[in-house]
Structure 1
Amino acid sequence: MRIDAVIFDHDGTLVDSEGIHFSIWQELLAQQGINFHREEYLNHHCGVPSKRNAELIVERHKLNTSSQQLLTNKQQKLDAWLHDHTFPLLPLAREALQECRKAQLKIGLATGAGRNEALRTVEGHNLAQYFDTLVTKDDVKNSKPAPETYLLAARHLAVEPEHCIAIEDSSTGVASAKAAGMQCITVKYELAKNQDLSSADYHCNDLLQAVDKALTLVNQGSENL
């Protein structure tokens, strides 16, 4: 099948951000006398949009606060952190984007993160030249695992979903991409190692290997035209 676009996830795929998210959740829960362990985050919250995580945390720990208030507190702390910092790029992220651009593929970013987070990454690491569209949780009614984020990215790229391939690291993201009708490649990410990624079409060890696989599919599609 012809592939015309590659759409990247953000957290855990292009940037190493989950450790920051965990630290903020841990700090907020410590203020309420709750020990929030890394293993709990890895097993239940890694790769999950913050809104859903707030709901899960309130329910699991029976907090005397609303999930919306917890989410607001978390976002305020994250925004304060992002004011002075940028999530570090994961290994080979820039090289992977460069390979996609050299292959003249359309490139999108589809994330369950907020626009502020995505823009900090794109602007802070000088990546604007690589992306043809950015779609965040702020652009859709239902974020991942619903398909809307990927469907909107495909629409912005003017490419049918079946001609896009998504690169992901989490079960939430894979579910979103597959529900959108896209092929999906996963990359290994240490903090998502406990997740079930079996529904993805291909599995790679790093981003450059994932892009190489995508380019192989592009070439196969060209040969079949």
Structure 2
Amino acid sequence: MKKAVIFDMDGVIIQSEIFYLKRRELFFEEQGIIVSDDFQQNTIGSNPKAMFEALFPNDLVKQQEMLVAFANFRKDFKVNYSEMLTDHIQEVLTWLKSNGYKVGLASAGEYHSLIHVLKDTKLTEFFDVVVSGADMPKSKPAPDVYLAAAKKLGVDPSECVAIEDSTYGIQAATSAGIDCLALKPKDFVINQSQATEIMLSLQEIPNWLTR
């Protein structure tokens, strides 16, 4: 029996990934960096630190330079997260809390950014714990963030289900021994073959938990 549901943020709670992909493309263009479509797709769900580590694996100085440059670049992009909320997220979170499930957030994003989004979308009250992959030894696809979330929730990983969308996120959840429901994107294709099950809507979560 599942006791907890752990959500990813981008592409699950908010539909932000198209925005983030376009922002990254503009940044790479400005920096004169050429990246493949596969790289862009594979790093969906990763934070900037992990992205630049993958892009410049043997150059710590370059990684740090790019982190600073990207942080400055994205200051010019204003985002209204309330307009990005995924359909049915509020009703599903309400159902989970009403039925006694613990709810966590395990995202690659930085902690202060995650809290900002939850406050902006008025979802803070639904989450018992918030864990950032940026604070872990290794971010997704490593299992660290999910193992930490399960521990903070006081449940065994086998008693959790993860709600994900990205390839890295699915790998992180399954590597932690957590069943993973993947929300299929509407606007682009992601490899979700390692998920326990693929959903077309978050409304499928209650049915999956109670069947």
Which TM-score bucket, shorter chain as reference?
0.7 to 0.9
TM-score between both structures, scaled by the size of structure 2: 0.87
Matched, 1:22 2:17: no
TM-superposed deviation, 1:197: 1.3
Per the alignment, residue 4 of structure 2 pairs with 5
Matched residue count: 208
Question: For the structure 1 residues 208 and 75, does the alpha-carbon distance in structure 2 shift closer, same or farther, using more than 3 Å as the test?
Answer: farther
Per the alignment, residue 208 of structure 2 pairs with 213
TM-superposed deviation, 1:41: 6.1
Corresponding letter in the other structure for 1:97: L
Please, which runs of 5 or more residues in structure 1 have no aligned partner?
217-225
Distance in 1 between residues matched to 2:74 and 2:209, nearest whole Å? 33
Please, which runs of 5 or more residues in structure 2 have no aligned partner?
none
Alignment of 1:1-225 (within 5 A): 2-33=1-32, 39=37, 42-58=40-56, 66-78=62-74, 81=77, 85-86=80-81, 88-191=84-187, 193-216=188-211
TM-superposed deviation, 1:124: 0.6
Secondary structure at 2:142 match in 1: coil
Secondary structure at 2:151 match in 1: helix
Query: Is the 2:92–2:203 contact (alpha carbons within 8 Å) kept by the matching residues of 1?
Result: yes
Distance in 2 between residues matched to 1:70 and 1:212, nearest whole Å? 44
TM-superposed deviation, 1:36: 6.4
Distance in 1 between residues matched to 2:113 and 2:121, nearest whole Å? 12
TM-score between both structures, scaled by the size of structure 1: 0.82
Query: Is the 1:11–1:18 contact (alpha carbons within 8 Å) kept by the matching residues of 2?
Result: yes
The alignment yields a C-alpha RMSD, in angstroms, of 2.4
Corresponding letter in the other structure for 2:7: F
TM-superposed deviation, 1:34: 5.0
Secondary structure at 2:31 match in 1: coil
